[in-house]
Amino acid sequence: MLDYRQNARGDEACRAHHAATAVQLADLDRRARAADLDAAPGTGGFDDVLPGSAVAGVDQDLDKISFGHYASISTQFGRYLNVAQPPAKAKTVGELSAAAAACQGCDLWQEATQTVFGEGKEGARMMLVGEQPGDQEDLQGRPFVGPAGRVLEQALDEAGIDRRRVYVTNAVKHFRFTRRGKRRLHEKPNAAQVRACRPWLEAEIEVVKPGLIVLLGATAAQSVMGPAFRVSKQHGEVLESPFGIPVVATVHPSSILRSVDDKSRDAAMSSFIADLMVAAKQA
Ligand code: URA
């Protein structure tokens, strides 16, 4: 039986523990916010950098904090802690897609119209991974149906790949944007948002079991291959991924839309098609 002195000692120990945890949390918050600020803006072009190591450090430290404080941490710092939680036993893309419709693993669900999940069949030989849905994709609820999708479709066609036979998805399943008047301008997802969404990509890979994954642009490539990966250096090579499935990284189709003139657009498109042909041969 506890008497009042034991209770008082217990309370004191608990208060000290809470105070120490509060200091640790403040430090984690500071570093998590810094990691967020470091996320370079861009649209999936060459060498965009995700500060994944900073966020990974925060993750590791969170692991060290006692489980008893989990509730308080997730209330205060849920934005950094939460990740998507796909149903463990899902066997079909339909099951995953239905569950992802309610995902609040990061903050992006609040502004986006809907979750834009991957499309294609289980057993597709090739999986294409983009960055995140754009304005049109957000409105229509389907990946790569806007201007970047049209470039992708043309390149796939020229590389001899039938879009209807590949699985198409994104590293992040909600549209991130800033409002400028009536327009919604694409904003690159930050490292915490990419990390929060990764369980969906892993679940898609598990269910689809592709023979090869094509990573379109830096966000997709770094989400799978790590923050040090450079599309500019390793595009068009068949590489082993952490999933044990070969990958080919290439540019994001929107980078071709941003070409400054016809000559550079043609060169970028030819290089994109050549990378896709490498992937087609391997898949
Ligand atoms: N850009 C992407 O990365 N994905 C889409 O679905 C559309 C544009």
What pLDDT score does 8 carry?
A: 63
Q: Which range, 7-16, 29-38, 41-50, 218-227, has the best average confidence (pLDDT)? A: 218-227
Q: Identify the architecture of domain 93-282 in CATH.
A: 3-Layer(aba) Sandwich (3.40)
- What share of the chain in percent tops pLDDT 90? 70
Ligand 1 center–CA 237 separation, angstroms: 22
CA distance 39 to 55: 10
The mean pLDDT value for 67-79 works out to: 46
The mean pLDDT value for 161-179 works out to: 97
Ligand 1 center–CA 175 separation, angstroms: 9
What pLDDT score does 48 carry?
A: 33
- Establish whether residue 169 lines the binding site of ligand 1, counting it when its CB lies within 6 angstroms of any ligand atom: no
CA distance 144 to 132: 9
In the chain, which ranges are E strands? 126-130, 167-170, 177-180, 183-186, 212-216, 238-240, 246-250
Q: Are 242 and 201 in contact (CB under 8 A)?
A: no
Residue 132's pLDDT band, with cuts at 50, 70 and 90, is very high
The mean pLDDT value for 96-100 works out to: 98
Identify which of 230, 244, 246 has the alpha carbon closest to the alpha carbon of residue 126.
246
- Asked if residue 234 has pLDDT above 80, the reply is yes
Give the residue range(s) of CATH 3.40.470.10 domains in the chain.
93-282
What pLDDT score does 204 carry?
A: 98
CA distance 187 to 273: 26
Q: Which atom of ligand 1 is nearest to the CA of 220?
A: 3
Ligand 1 center–CA 64 separation, angstroms: 36
Task: Choose the residue to mutate in 140, 169, 252, 256 for probing ligand 1, maximizing ligand atoms within 8 Å of C-beta.
Answer: 252
Averaged confidence pLDDT in the chain: 83
CA distance 149 to 135: 12
Ligand 1 center–CA 43 separation, angstroms: 10
Ligand 1 center–CA 2 separation, angstroms: 61
Higher-confidence position of 70 and 83: 83
- Establish whether residue 138 lines the binding site of ligand 1, counting it when its CB lies within 6 angstroms of any ligand atom: no
Lowest model confidence (mean pLDDT) among 52-56, 74-78, 247-251: 52-56
What pairing do the DSSP bridges indicate for beta strands 246-250 and 238-240?
Answer: antiparallel
- Asked if residue 57 has pLDDT above 50, the reply is no
Which residue's structure tokens are 């999933």?
A: 243
What pLDDT score does 159 carry?
A: 98
What pLDDT score does 22 carry?
A: 58
Q: Which two tokens stand for residue 278?
A: 């490498």
Q: Are 85 and 200 in contact (CB under 8 A)?
A: no
What pLDDT score does 10 carry?
A: 59
Q: How far apart are the first and last CA of the chain?
A: 68
- Asked if residue 110 has pLDDT above 60, the reply is yes
What pLDDT score does 3 carry?
A: 52
- Establish whether residue 167 lines the binding site of ligand 1, counting it when its CB lies within 6 angstroms of any ligand atom: no
Long-range contacts of 100-103 (CB under 8 A, 24+ apart): 100/173, 100/200, 103/173, 103/174, 103/200
What pairing do the DSSP bridges indicate for beta strands 183-186 and 177-180?
Answer: antiparallel
The residues, any chain, with a CB within 8 Å of residue 33's CB and separated by 6 or more, are: none
pTM given for the model: 0.75
| DSSP string across 251-262 | --HHHHHT-SSH
Ligand 1 center–CA 58 separation, angstroms: 29
- Asked if residue 156 has pLDDT above 50, the reply is yes
Q: How far is CA 197 from CA 33, 62, 223, 276, 283, in A?
A: 18, 19, 10, 25, 25
What pLDDT score does 82 carry?
A: 72
Q: Which two tokens stand for residue 236?
A: 């068009």
- Establish whether residue 52 lines the binding site of ligand 1, counting it when its CB lies within 6 angstroms of any ligand atom: no
- Asked if residue 36 has pLDDT above 60, the reply is no
Sign of the dihedral defined by the CA atoms of residues 131, 134, 139, 145, in that order? negative
Ligand 1 center–CA 35 separation, angstroms: 24
- Establish whether residue 120 lines the binding site of ligand 1, counting it when its CB lies within 6 angstroms of any ligand atom: no
Ligand 1 center–CA 171 separation, angstroms: 9
CA distance 277 to 161: 8
What pLDDT score does 14 carry?
A: 53
- Establish whether residue 130 lines the binding site of ligand 1, counting it when its CB lies within 6 angstroms of any ligand atom: yes
- Establish whether residue 118 lines the binding site of ligand 1, counting it when its CB lies within 6 angstroms of any ligand atom: no
What pLDDT score does 12 carry?
A: 67
